[in-house]
Amino acid sequence: MADKQGFLIKEGGSIKTWRKRWCVFKNGSIYYSKNPSSGELGIIHMKNVSSVIQSTRKKKNCFEVATPERTYYMKAPSMEEMKSWIDVLNQYLDKMKAMLAKTSADGKNASAVLVDKVGIEDFDLLKVIGKGSFGKVMQVRKKDNGRIYAMKVLNKKNILERKEIDHTRAEKNILQKLVHPFLVNLNYSFQTSDKLYFIMDYVNGGELFFHLQNEEKFNEDRVRFYCAEIVCGLEYLHNCGVLYRDLKPENILLTDDGHINLTDFGISKEGLLSDNDRTATFCGTPEYLAPEILKGEPYGKAVDWWSFGTLVYEMLSGLPPFYSQDIRTMYNNIMNEKLTFTPQFSTEARNFITLLLERDPNKRIKDPKTIKSHPFFKDIDWEKCVRKELVPPFIPPVSDKNDTSQIDTGFLVETAKLSLDHSKLSNSMQRNFEDFTFVNINEHLNQNRKE
């Protein structure tokens, strides 16, 4: 979750023009971009900031963020919003300075304290809330502040045997760097001799899969709402050069107030910045694989939109369009079977899904602007959508943010514990996991302040 976000008018660097920018303060940095779904244009790291004050030289409601390299000027839409930004940023600077002073007085290195402070011993294991070939996800409580998180645990040996080092590294990079309202947030990552750990926000409204199983299918208005938020999330990922590759109901979480969070970037691919960039790894979940992946052809961002089309169909009907219990039959259906619709699909939904499930990726609808302008989304206000101002059609029945009632009971019955892998990894194997540690500094500073 971002500490602060919103539109500001930012003065440019070499060319002193003022531009509207979407600004997000998270993990000790200010990220700015053209809009909430575009890739970032720049980052201001708070560790380099000396002061944040109201400007007396620039425009009304303007504040200054001073670094050794340059002073950034930001204009807020109101005096109240300007003061809010200044307060949030200065609170962070005060905490960081207090932390540095404390570690200096103790004769310790501040960055070392931040890195070494967080480990498995800092968490109580509560419940198993998810499981897959990667390992398991547990609900955990941080001992010092009582906050609830989701802890994803990966076995190093399994990662090495399955040759998924690059995927694991990409997942950590994506979770650490990307900031968007519809992506799950990473707070910490660390490792032991045999395992890797991601500590993420606990999103407790349940998997979309859980709700779809319970209700069999959703009405079109509810599907449209989820689709709109997913489109914004995919657009942002693609603008940042990330191919998701595993869009499915199990990887879409509902927040306690009914919005979506995309999660599990374990097979995502970084670096596809151009629409012409391609990759060729065969991976994904069978029901949602695009024809070009099955054919072994190089593929790009269009595969995510095929998966999206499959998901739209499934939410409206209860099953993916080409589903078969026999995987070979299903693969043949995906590549050759005619797309058919039952009566509950509206004309707009049929047309939209047909455009998404076009087998030729060159003809498939994949430009987010074109997707957003389709009649299926005629009632969606996209600016309100990305600001999470649209009213969710369904609010998960949870009592509080720690509630596990929307988690599949098949997971909850399992005891939350960590098994020890006694097989020793050589030093060369362990080097594959260097630089895995990550600390959300703001989260850590909040914790340190309470000690």
Query: Which residues belong to the active site?
Result: 246
Give the residue among 45, 277, 281, 283 at the shortest CA–CA distance from 177: 45
Long-range contact pairs involving 291-300 (C-beta distance under 8 Å, separation at least 24) = 291/334, 291/335, 291/359, 292/361, 294/331, 294/334, 294/335, 295/335, 299/361, 300/243, 300/272, 300/275, 300/276, 300/361
d(CA 65, CA 71): 6
Give the tokens for residue 27: 């993990």
Hey, what are 285's tokens?
């979940």
| Closest to 83 measured CA to CA, from 4, 161, 162 | 4
Alpha-carbon torsion (262, 265, 266, 267), positive or negative? positive
Eight-class DSSP state of 149: E
Q: Using an 8 Å Cβ cutoff, are 264 and 245 in contact? A: no
Q: List, as one string, the DSSP characters of 208-229.
A: HHHHHHHHSS--HHHHHHHHHH
CA distance 209 to 251: 8
What angle, rounded to 10 degrees, do the helices at 110-117 and 79-105 form? Answer: 100
The H-or-E segment that residue 427 falls in is helix 427-430
What does the alpha-carbon distance between residue 255 and residue 13 come to, in Å, rounded to a whole number? 38
Phi and psi at residue 19, to the nearest 5°:
-130, 145
Q: Given strand 438-439, what is the order of strands in its sheet? A: 123-132, 135-142, 148-155, 195-201, 186-191, 438-439
Report the relative pairing of strands 51-54 and 252-254 from DSSP bridges.
unpaired
* Distance from C-alpha of 218 to C-alpha of 214, rounded to nearest angstrom: 10
Pairing of strands 438-439, 252-254: unpaired
CA 29 to each of CA 6, 85, 282, 444: distance values in angstroms, whole numbers, following the listed order: 14, 13, 35, 14
C-alpha–C-alpha distance, residues 436 and 65, integer Å: 30
